[in-house]
Amino acid sequence: MTNSHYTVYVGSYATADATGIHAFTFDTTTGALMAKGSSAGIVHPSFILAHPNRRWLYAVSEQSEQVDGKAGSVWGLALDNIGAQATSPLLNSQASGGNWPCHLALDASGKWLVVSNYGSGTVAVFPIQDDGSLGAMSEHIQHHGSGPNPERQEGPHAHSATFTPDNRFLIVADLGIDQLVIYAFDPVKGTLKAHAQVHARPGAGPRHMAFHPQYPQLAVACELDNTVVIYDYTVEDCHLEARQVLETLPPGTPESAVADIHFAPSGEWLYVSNRGHNSIAAFAVAPDGEWPRLATAPTGGDWPRNFAITPNGRFLLVANQYSGEITVLPVVESEQALGEPVVRVAIPGASCIQFVSRKS
């Protein structure tokens, strides 16, 4: 990257009257963070997603119908107005189509936003208007079923959705029913059609997913059994074939729960966060062989719910929810490991991180 400066946006579990979304200037050479602004007005903006046009940001309001009589919702914001004194960044909101919305995904055109509602096990699609606001829901799907874990899998829990690289299919990871549910996506109407179901191991609890940037492979982080499943992906029909299961924790580790997953920009490494163990597991990518775990490094905080990798691959920024801070970890390529935090920034309930390249 020729420009080493980016804006970092952080979502959190703040209440509506507290600052919930924070903006920082980030230097990818030094790892330094400088406060740029913040925004209130959204209850629990725990997951945020920047639009590729660098003008808009979308945020869930992670709550249920039992909280203040309000259901979960999704919001659109104007990036340039986050932190502005005179102009609110809030564009509009729509009911998310369920309870506890926890994840957002954009299709390749940037015209459709998908919301995963964890509590109700539903998936909803919304059109993005020309001004960045959200239009009326174009699709709503209810999952059904349960899993063997009575505490966590009493019903469906759609935890995330990911579009295939060709934008033809949407894959939904449902933790409650141990399935990857695949839908054919209509980019004109913003609708979904059932295509296939991939069954995970009973009790695995698929949570988040990441496609490899070069190879036809999908990595799925499973929260309940602390594993990552590597699938070979067939582009033509979105067929997924499991090829390897990776353990994210050292043997004998006390109770922990996998959270987020991302490939390094180079595609050479895969990173996964472990809540409880409070670490990042790093794996070497071997598209035709076994993927060894290279290291398991402490995040320097408590409950690493989400993390992001700098565009140049030099740092990991970790949202440590319970300790309420962002930690910046350097990538030590010569040792194929992560170093100790070089920067810490306090953000109560920090939960999600997004990079946006600074406009030239």
End-to-end Cα spacing for the chain: 13
Q: Give me the residue label for tokens 């910046």.
A: 328
Using CA atoms, how far apart are residues 73 and 95, in angstroms rounded to an integer? 4
Using CA atoms, how far apart are residues 187 and 76, in angstroms rounded to an integer? 20
CA dihedral sign, ordered 288, 293, 294, 299: positive
Confidence (pLDDT) at 20: 96
Contact 249, 256 (CB under 8 A): yes
Using CA atoms, how far apart are residues 286 and 47, in angstroms rounded to an integer? 31
Residues 6+ apart with CB under 8 A from 352: 10, 11, 12, 46, 47, 48, 305, 306, 319
Confidence (pLDDT) at 1: 41
Using CA atoms, how far apart are residues 203 and 150, in angstroms rounded to an integer? 10
Using CA atoms, how far apart are residues 16 and 329, in angstroms rounded to an integer? 30
Length of the chain: 360
Q: Give me the residue label for tokens 């600052």.
A: 19
Confidence (pLDDT) at 264: 96
Using CA atoms, how far apart are residues 148 and 216, in angstroms rounded to an integer? 31
Domain range annotation of the chain: 61-303+326-341
| Contacts of 105-109 spanning 24+ positions with Cβ under 8 A | 105/49, 105/160, 105/161, 105/162, 105/163, 105/170, 106/49, 106/51, 106/52, 106/58, 106/163, 107/163, 107/167, 107/185, 107/187, 108/163, 108/167, 109/167, 109/187
Confidence (pLDDT) at 159: 99
Using CA atoms, how far apart are residues 303 and 349, in angstroms rounded to an integer? 10
Radius of gyration for the alpha carbons in the chain, expressed in angstroms and rounded: 19
Backbone angles phi, psi at 185, to 5 degrees: -105, 130
Q: Three-state SS for 14?
A: coil
Backbone dihedral region of 117: left (phi > 0), alpha (psi from -120 to 50 degrees) or beta? beta
Topology (CATH) of 61-303+326-341: Methylamine Dehydrogenase; Chain H (2.130.10)
Using CA atoms, how far apart are residues 152 and 265, in angstroms rounded to an integer? 33
Is the entire prediction scored with pTM above 0.85? Answer: yes
Residues 6+ apart with CB under 8 A from 236: none
E strands in 165-268: 169-174, 179-186, 191-199, 206-211, 217-222, 227-234, 239-247, 257-263
pLDDT tens over the chain, length 360 residues: 445 679 999 999 998 888 999 999 999 889 999 999 999 999 999 999 999 999 999 999 999 865 454 579 999 999 999 987 768 899 999 999 999 999 999 999 999 999 999 999 999 999 999 999 999 999 999 999 999 999 999 999 999 999 999 999 999 999 999 999 999 999 999 999 999 999 999 999 999 999 999 999 999 999 999 999 999 999 999 999 999 999 999 998 888 999 999 999 999 999 999 999 999 999 999 988 899 999 999 999 999 999 999 999 999 999 999 999 999 999 997 777 899 999 999 999 999 999 999 754
Give percent of the chain with pLDDT exceeding 90: 88
Least Cα distance to 8 among 242, 333, 287, 318 occurs for: 318
| DSSP structure class, residue 356 | E
Using CA atoms, how far apart are residues 116 and 140, in angstroms rounded to an integer? 10
Confidence (pLDDT) at 360: 47
Residues 6+ apart with CB under 8 A from 290: 244
Tokens of 27: 């230097």
Backbone angles phi, psi at 81, to 5 degrees: -100, 0
Contact 315, 264 (CB under 8 A): no
Q: Give me the residue label for tokens 């309420």.
A: 324
